[in-house]
């Protein structure tokens, strides 16, 4: 990693000397990755982001920045954002040279949300730059122990066994490296506050993937000196599928991509406390080994023990077991009593529950009672349910799911193996405004992966009860709202006299944006720029108070001369939706035993997947599997059907 200059002003002055190649090399290494990744999130392809980054670097090389214009950081992000806007508005590259061009660019300064996103990116690089310095001088074995315990939250005993170290040594290494990283963060902060400050970069190549901020990284930054404190909020980016439209008939279809990006979460916002219930099927079928040599129940216990390491001391967990009947195995208990919780999980198969049945409704009722009793303002209440079979009391389950939604207690349902009733679990997920997972029992580590993914997601929740209201203008019709990242699914609208159409989006993590496609019907208009809807996003930061983005206009330009260029990023998500819809149609055809229709749809899926390229490679492979089974067996196995539905709902960000 390059050494940082003593002051940023000095480096900027050196850039004006064409003979000082070292200064230019330092600058590109420091700023290049940040600019590229910031631009890439707003542009269709890597090449577009690289071109925009190169144009901004030309502006710097040309000496366009002068200190009287203000802070270099703000100047740089302003030029970068306007270059991105140039791409979207004109789809041509314009060279920047001289003061006049830059003066025009400065007319459109970055929004507060954009500056906060830029600052958040800076903080990610801050941690990773500090960690990179420490790693360079660390013993590789000790560094591996640190990464596993501090950043991946693996139990110390497990890490000690895996690396052949003593437990004392593992904890000593963790403490030492945490202190060293904090010291490096302090040094970097001091450098950044000297002179004009500077941004941190750790990538050697422009397109090296941007680092992800883990919970361990965030803890270090939260304690670093000089941390800015900003109010947590959700920043909204919006883009139409075309930069302009021509409506020849009475109306035309339109699509808007919304990106909900958490910002201001560096140190001011604390993650929400968790009030969890874990409901586990302990019926006889959970003792099957599925060729892995380990029972399903044992795999669940191991996965649960690993997953709860993501929880914080003030989180609570209740555990319910069910089979022929149901019992509360552990009342709601704070994670400060982790030893007690772990003992209950380890001994779940030794408790007095008759294994001869699957009374999931009774287990859900007990879990609802436990979680509801502990529900308080500022916490996320969630119940995680796992089963491998069909259950009695389906109507009771549905009624409880509706009650859960009314009480804002969301459910996560996990179907293990092939014998659970998919239609029921999916209904319960929809009714409770939750989600469902499929666990392939033939993959020994699948249970651990799904549990870890779910608990990490819950632990990273920062925004509750996120709601989007849309008020279309005259003759504009909002037809549909779909989430496309992280999961492809419909979002139902409720009509409100005061707020127009209201979509309940659920929770949002502190480190993951979500994306939505709005499908519209647009009327004819004379040429010009029009507001077609007013939007507002509201959410709860755990205080019980509703926060708001304020009104946000959704605009589009009408041009009778012809359609504008297509936004590639929006169209990629529309492709994902279309592939998901084909998968839904396939499921209907298979359930109706209409093999001819199923074959035709599977062929369409394969063709569509191939056209989408490498990012849809896995989905294309699944379509081929369906075709192969239809050709050879005149049907599709239940496992393949579950895999199709599970995979096609995954939204792709690239």
Residues 623-633, mean pLDDT to the nearest whole number: 93
557/169: higher pLDDT: 557
pLDDT at position 185, please? 74
Question: Which domains does the chain carry?
Answer: 8-222 (no CATH), 233-268+462-566 (2.60.40.3670), 273-459 (3.40.50.410), 569-648 (no CATH)
Q: Name the phi and psi angles at 165, rounded to 5.
A: -120, 160
pLDDT at position 367, please? 97
Choose the weakest-confidence range: 104-118, 270-284, 323-337, 571-585: 104-118
Does residue 132 surpass a pLDDT of 90? no
- Residue range 206-251, pLDDT digits in tens: 333 333 444 444 444 444 444 444 467 888 888 999 989 999 889 9
Q: State the residue for tokens 């030309």.
A: 58
Residues 127-137, mean pLDDT to the nearest whole number: 81
- Among residues 532, 623, 628, 556, the alpha carbon closest in space to that of 583 is found at 623
Q: What is the pTM of this model?
A: 0.67
The C-alpha atoms of residue 441 and residue 455 are separated, in whole angstroms, by 20
Q: How far apart are the first and last CA of the chain?
A: 27
Q: How confident is the model at residue 540 (pLDDT cuts 50, 70, 90)?
A: very high
279/108: higher pLDDT: 279
Residues 81-102, mean pLDDT to the nearest whole number: 58
Q: Percentage of residues in the chain with pLDDT exceeding 90?
A: 50
Residues forming beta bridges with residue 509, ordered by sequence position: 461
Task: Look up residue 284 and give its two tokens.
Answer: 């006889």
Residues 316-326, mean pLDDT to the nearest whole number: 94
Answer positive or negative: Cα dihedral of 488, 489, 490, 492.
Answer: negative
pLDDT at position 136, please? 83
- Residue range 372-400, pLDDT digits in tens: 999 988 899 999 999 999 888 999 999 99
pLDDT at position 56, please? 83
Q: Name the phi and psi angles at 134, rounded to 5.
A: -65, -40
pLDDT at position 408, please? 92
584/4: higher pLDDT: 584
Does residue 48 surpass a pLDDT of 90? no
- Among residues 314, 306, 387, the alpha carbon closest in space to that of 346 is found at 306
pLDDT at position 653, please? 63
Residues near 626 by Cβ (< 8 Å), separated by ≥ 6? 586, 598, 602, 605, 636, 640, 644
Average model confidence (pLDDT) across the chain: 81
- Residue range 433-470, pLDDT digits in tens: 999 999 999 998 999 999 999 999 999 898 999 999 99
**What is residue 107's DSSP assignment?**
T
């Amino acid at each position: 990693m390059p050494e940082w200059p003593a002051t940023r002003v000095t480096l900027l002055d050196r850039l004006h000397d064409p003979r000082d190649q070292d200064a230019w090399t330092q600058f590109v290494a420091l700023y290049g990755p940040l600019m590229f990744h910031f631009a890439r999130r707003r542009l269709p392809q890597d090449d577009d982001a690289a071109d925009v980054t190169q144009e901004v670097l030309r502006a710097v090389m040309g000496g366009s920045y002068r200190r009287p214009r203000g802070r270099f950081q703000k100047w740089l992000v302003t030029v970068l954002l306007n270059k991105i806007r140039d791409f979207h508005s004109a789809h041509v590259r314009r060279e920047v040279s001289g003061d006049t061009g830059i003066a025009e660019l400065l007319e459109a300064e970055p929004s507060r949300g954009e500056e906060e996103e830029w600052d958040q990116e800076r903080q990610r690089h801050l941690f990773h730059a500090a960690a990179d310095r420490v790693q360079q001088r660390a013993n590789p074995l000790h560094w591996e122990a640190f990464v596993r315990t501090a950043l991946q939250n693996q139990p110390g005993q497990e890490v000690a066994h895996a690396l052949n170290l003593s437990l004392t040594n593992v904890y000593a290494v963790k403490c030492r490296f945490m202190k060293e990283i904090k010291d490096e963060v302090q040094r970097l902060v001091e450098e950044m506050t000297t002179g004009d400050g500077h941004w941190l970069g750790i990538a050697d190549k422009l397109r090296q993937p941007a680092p992800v901020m883990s919970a361990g990284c965030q803890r270090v930054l939260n304690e670093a000196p000089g941390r800015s404190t900003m109010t947590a909020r959700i920043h909204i980016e919006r883009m139409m599928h075309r930069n302009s439209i021509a409506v020849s008939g009475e109306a035309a279809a339109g699509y808007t991509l919304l990106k909900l990006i958490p910002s201001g979460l560096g140190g001011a916002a604390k993650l929400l406390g968790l009030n969890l219930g874990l409901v586990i099927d302990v019926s006889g079928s959970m003792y099957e080994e599925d060729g892995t040599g380990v029972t399903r129940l044992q795999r669940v216990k191991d996965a649960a023990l690993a997953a709860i390491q993501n929880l914080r001391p003030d989180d609570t967990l209740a555990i319910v077991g069910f089979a022929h009947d149901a019992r509360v195995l552990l009342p709601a208990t704070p994670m400060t009593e982790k030893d007690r919780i772990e003992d209950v999980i380890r001994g779940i198969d030794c408790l007095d529950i008759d294994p001869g049945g699957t009374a999931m409704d009774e287990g859900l009722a007990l879990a609802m009672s436990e979680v509801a009793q502990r529900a308080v303002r500022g916490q996320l209440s969630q119940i995680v349910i796992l089963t491998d079979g069909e259950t009695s009391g389906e109507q009771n389950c549905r009624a409880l799911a509706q009650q859960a939604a009314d009480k804002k207690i969301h459910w996560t349902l996990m179907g293990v193996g092939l014998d659970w009733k998919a239609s029921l679990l999916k209904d319960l997920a929809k009714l409770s405004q939750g989600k469902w997972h499929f666990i392939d029992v033939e993959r020994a580590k699948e249970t651990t992966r799904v549990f870890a993914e779910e608990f990490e997601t819950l632990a990273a929740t920062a925004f509750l009860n996120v709601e989007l209201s849309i008020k279309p203008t005259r003759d504009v019709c909002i037809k549909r709202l779909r989430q496309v990242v992280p999961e492809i699914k419909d979002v139902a609208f409720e009509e409100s006299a005061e707020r127009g159409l209201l979509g309940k989006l659920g929770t949002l993590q502190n480190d993951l944006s979500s994306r939505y496609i709005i499908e519209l019907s647009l009327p004819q208009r004379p040429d010009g720029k029009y507001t077609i809807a007013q939007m507002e996003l509201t959410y709860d930061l755990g205080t019980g108070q509703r926060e708001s983005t304020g009104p946000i206009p959704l605009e589009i330009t009408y041009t009778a001369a012809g359609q504008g260029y297509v936004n590639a990023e929006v169209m990629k998500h529309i492709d994902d939706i279309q592939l998901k819809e084909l998968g839904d149609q396939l499921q209907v055809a298979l359930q109706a035993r209409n093999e001819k229709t199923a074959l035709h749809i599977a062929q369409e899926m394969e063709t569509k997947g191939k056209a989408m390229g490498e990012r849809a490679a896995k989905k294309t492979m699944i379509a081929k599997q369906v075709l192969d089974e239809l050709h050879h067996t005149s049907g599709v196995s239940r496992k393949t059907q579950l895999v199709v539905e599970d995979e096609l709902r995954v939204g792709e960000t690239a």
